[in-house]
């Protein structure tokens, strides 16, 4: 009977000690991981910057083993660095990928997993320099059941064969989501997809048109106005989107083709376009000339409802 409290006390103390040791070990692991990530960043970037104070043989000596966890951490770190920079030399990356067998490792993981895990592996692959073997293996994921996997496979192919962008995107069957278009634009900003807006706007594929629209808006390409006016005349969503792009660039909308297109919109679409043009700082006079005396007072009520003062910087 005397021993029972003693046993309970020993168990409790033992559990607390285990918990404390576990916490210490976990913190040490995290610190090691962070030091490793920092070291990867330092060495890879140092090579990119051609800093002479790090010796050649040290530049590729990274504090990572070939274990699964370390290779995944290395791939994630490289992916984050590459997606946040551009203009860097890819030779160092190719050496690291070869030295750690990252391509084979990620392909194997993608093969053995499903769904979002597979998509994650493919996205990491998209940021790394790949060989022909990877391209052949990734092609089959374009038929996967999961949309995220199909799009991740597209990203891998775009990264490896940027000159085939028009064909690869045209083969993507579904209408792209806004987030997917943003991902492709991110590749463009990094210089990974050397393409101009003209072939994107001239294509008959809706996804290519949408990428072209996003490109024109993001870079403020006013020279695209003639192509946009031609697209406004098209029926369907492409024509409506072209109107929004013209408004985003704050181009003059008092064109015959634009006025005719606005008249063909449904009342809800007209109101939505009116709201957007108000946010793009079109004046009341411009809106009245496009939407008439019946609908345009809505824009004045909308502006009056704003709780802070607005300054219209551009006049007609």
Partner 1 sequence: MACILIYSEEGLWATLIETILSEQGIELAVARNPEQLRRMTVSRSYEVVIIVGVGLLRRGEGWLLRLRPYRLRPPEIYLVAWQHGEQTVLGMLECGVDQYMTLPLHPGRLRAKVMQALAE
For binding to partner 1 (CB under 8 A), which residues are involved? Answer: 34, 37-38, 41-42, 45-46, 48-49, 51, 77, 80-81, 83-88, 186, 189-190, 218, 220
Q: How far is residue 310 CA from its own chain's centroid? A: 32
Q: How far apart are CA 197 and CA 186, in angstroms?
A: 15
Give the integer Cα–Cα distance in Å for 108 and 212. 35
Least Cβ distance, residue 41 to partner 1 (angstroms):
4
Q: Looking at beta carbons only, is 147 or 189 nearer to partner 1?
A: 189
Of 164, 112, 102, 180, residue with least CA distance to 134: 102
Round to whole Å and give the CA distance between 37 and 157: 27
For partner 1, the closer of residues 185 and 202 by Cβ is 185
Task: Kindly tell me which of 184 and 262 has the beta carbon lying closer to partner 1.
Answer: 184
Q: What is the smallest separation between the CB atom of 160 and partner 1, expressed in angstroms?
A: 19
Residue 270 neighbours by CB under 8 Å, 6+ apart: 262, 291, 295
Closer CB to partner 1, residue 16 or residue 29? Answer: 29
Q: How far apart are CB 71 and partner 1 at their closest, in Å?
A: 18
Rounded to 5 degrees, what are φ and ψ at 306?
-65, 140
Length of the chain counted residue by residue: 316
Q: Which is nearer to partner 1, 80 or 98 (CB)?
A: 80
């Amino acid at each position: 009977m005397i021993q029972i409290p003693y046993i309970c006390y020993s168990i409790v103390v033992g559990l607390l000690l285990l918990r404390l040791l576990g916490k210490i070990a976990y913190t040490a692991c995290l610190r090691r991981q962070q030091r490793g990530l920092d070291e990867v960043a330092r060495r890879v970037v140092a090579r990119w910057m051609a800093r002479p104070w790090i010796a050649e043989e040290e530049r590729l000596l990274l504090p990572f083993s070939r274990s699964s966890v370390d290779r995944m951490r290395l791939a994630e770190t490289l992916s984050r660095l590459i997606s946040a920079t551009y203009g860097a030399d890819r030779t160092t990356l190719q050496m690291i990928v070869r030295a750690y067998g990252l391509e084979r490792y990620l392909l194997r993981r993608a093969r053995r997993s499903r769904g979002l895990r597979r998509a994650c592996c493919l996205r990491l692959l998209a940021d790394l320099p790949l060989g022909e073997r990877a391209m052949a293996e990734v092609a089959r994921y374009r038929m996967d059941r999961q949309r995220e996997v199909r799009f991740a496979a597209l990203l891998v192919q775009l990264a490896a064969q940027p000159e085939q962008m028009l064909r690869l995107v045209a083969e993507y069957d579904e209408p792209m989501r806004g987030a997917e278009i943003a991902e492709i634009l991110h590749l463009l900003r990094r210089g990974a997809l050397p393409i101009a807006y003209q072939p994107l706007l001239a294509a008959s594929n809706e996804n290519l048109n949408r990428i072209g629209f996003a490109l024109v808006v993001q870079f403020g390409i006013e020279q695209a106005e003639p192509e946009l006016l031609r697209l406004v005349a098209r029926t369907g969503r492409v024509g409506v989107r072209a109107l929004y792009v013209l408004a985003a660039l704050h181009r003059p909308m008092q064109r015959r083709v634009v006025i005719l297109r606005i008249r063909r919109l449904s009342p809800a679409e007209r109101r939505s376009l009116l709201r957007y043009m108000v946010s793009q700082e079109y004046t009341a006079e411009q809106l009245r000339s496009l939407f008439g005396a019946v609908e345009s007072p809505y824009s004045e009520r909308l502006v009056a409802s704003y709780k802070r003062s607005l300054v219209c910087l551009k006049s007609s």
